[in-house]
Amino acid sequence: MEGREPVVVCRLSHRPGRDDRMTTHVGLTARALGANRVVLPDNATGPAETIEQVTDRFGGPFAVEQYDSPTAFVRDWSGTIAHLTMYGLPVQDVEADLRAASAESPLLIVVGGEKVPFEVYERADYNIAVTNQPHSEVAGLAVLLDRLFEGAELDREWTDADRTVIPKETGKKVVDPDEQP
């Protein structure tokens, strides 16, 4: 994961209240599964705060950015663009190409909202489906990131964490990493 081109996840739209948990989960999934940053609309204030709090507690680096128009952010992106949509090409058919492209230039992964402008389908280098079935943008993002990084994201190390979970067969163990041997 070190030294690779950045991977940024962009949530196109957000309805305060109704979408709060989904947008939060998109951002936390992006963070946990190896993306460098998440881009949210300006009105996703609550989710942005929650994601930043998690990064403060459990470590980074991971950045949250907010823009008035994420669609304009997509329009202006100069690297590769992948758009997650149930109408796209099967992830298993395009993941090798996507991995090659993301080794050459920064990758923007676009996660839709309720109404995705047709411009985004046209602007994307890859419209990608994690199955052509309706399910969850969070699930699609998770499978895409795990396949893109081929599992390497699961071994990521975190810096500046206040707390660290120690894997356990049964129960819960959380420690302060500064007090770890």
Binding site for a copy of itself (CB under 8 A): 21-22, 25, 28-29, 31-33, 54, 58, 86-92, 118, 121-122, 124, 127, 129-136, 138-143, 146-147, 151, 153-156, 158, 164-174
Q: Half-sphere exposure of 94 toward its Cβ, with a 13 Å CA cutoff?
A: 20
Q: Report d(CA 131, CA 142) in Å as an integer.
A: 13
Counting Cα atoms < 13 Å in the Cβ hemisphere of 121 gives 10
Nearer to a copy of itself, 3 or 134 (CB): 134
Min. distance of Cβ 165 from a copy of itself in angstroms? 4
Residue closer to a copy of itself by CB (options 75, 135) is 135
User: Burial, 15: exposed, middle or buried (Cβ in 10 Å; 0-12, 13-18, 19+)?
Assistant: middle
- In the complex with a copy of itself, the residue whose CB is nearer, 67 or 158, is 158
Q: How far is the CB of 10 from a copy of itself (least distance, A)?
A: 17
2: DSSP letter: T
